[in-house]
Amino acid sequence: MTFYVQTWDEYYTQVLTLGIISGPVEGVLTLCLVFGLTAYMGGGSFWHQSMLETVGVPKLDAIPEQLYDMPFTQWYLVYGAIVLFFATGSSIVHVMQIRRERGQDPIAPLFGLLPLVAVWVFVPAYLYLQPTILENYMVPFALYVGLVNAYAVGTMITAHLVKSSFPYFNVLLCPLALAVLDSAGPVFGLWPSALGGGDGQVAFVYVCLGLAIGVYGSFIVSPSYPHISFCARLIR
């Protein structure tokens, strides 16, 4: 998400900036730390302990019991949310400031964040409606969502290089949007689900992953590769 926002920032300001918190850097470092500690502590069960108790914080009356008992996994979500909102907020402020200085509309670029909002409305909605995927098939689904974001960022970078209009439309998001509508129908009593549950949803996730690999793979080969190669030759 932060990679999308940083690229959106660059598209509208024409300047590559990295704030105090950029997102991708912190994410990679956090993963390295998590993997290292998991190996050192002997397994993933370590992260399901109370963080405050594990690091030696005494159980004071001023600390709510629910807060004190929060495991590392939930604190990790809090940390991620702070990083996300800080990075997004700082990029929005930066884009609006630069656009004002240039005498341009500071509000119009904000519509470029709508594709990102759409992704993170449909993703949790689908997982909520299909708990089987959430509990048993998160690896292929996470890979699919990652490719959706990678494709969005890639098309934005290409649009930035060739000075074309902002790419609001992401074709890889269409199946997920339709799946949410399909799953929501039975919940509200509007229509039966075409995919059904169980095997139908599992097959859908793998089809989406295959589609994403194909679309993103073809995008890498053409047209982005010629543009990137041309820019690399200019730099040399």
Higher pLDDT, 17 or 62: 62
**Integer Cα distance of 43 and 47 in angstroms:** 9
* Token pair listed for 18: 């990295």
Instruction: Give the list of residues 6+ apart from residue 106 with CB closer than 8 angstroms, or none.
Output: 95, 96, 97, 99, 100
Task: Please determine, for residue 45, whether its predicted confidence score (pLDDT) is greater than 60.
Answer: yes
Higher pLDDT, 6 or 225: 6
How many helices (H) does the chain have, and how many strands (E)? 11, 0
**Integer Cα distance of 151 and 223 in angstroms:** 12
Task: Please determine, for residue 235, whether its predicted confidence score (pLDDT) is greater than 60.
Answer: no
For residues 25-47, average pLDDT: 82
Instruction: Give the list of residues 6+ apart from residue 68 with CB closer than 8 angstroms, or none.
Output: 50, 52, 53, 57, 59
CB atoms within 10 A of CB 145: 23
Task: Using alpha carbons, select from 158, 128, 132, 137 the residue that is nearest to residue 209.
Answer: 137
For 77-98, the pLDDT digits (tens) are: 888 888 888 888 888 998 999 9
Lowest mean pLDDT among 12-16, 97-101, 175-179, 208-212: 12-16
> How sure is the predictor about 16, in pLDDT bands with cuts at 50, 70 and 90?
confident
For residue 50, what are the β-bridge partners?
Answer: 71
**Could you tell me what percent of the chain has a pLDDT over 70?**
91
Q: Could you tell me where the beta strands, DSSP code E, fall in the chain?
A: none
**Integer Cα distance of 231 and 147 in angstroms:** 24
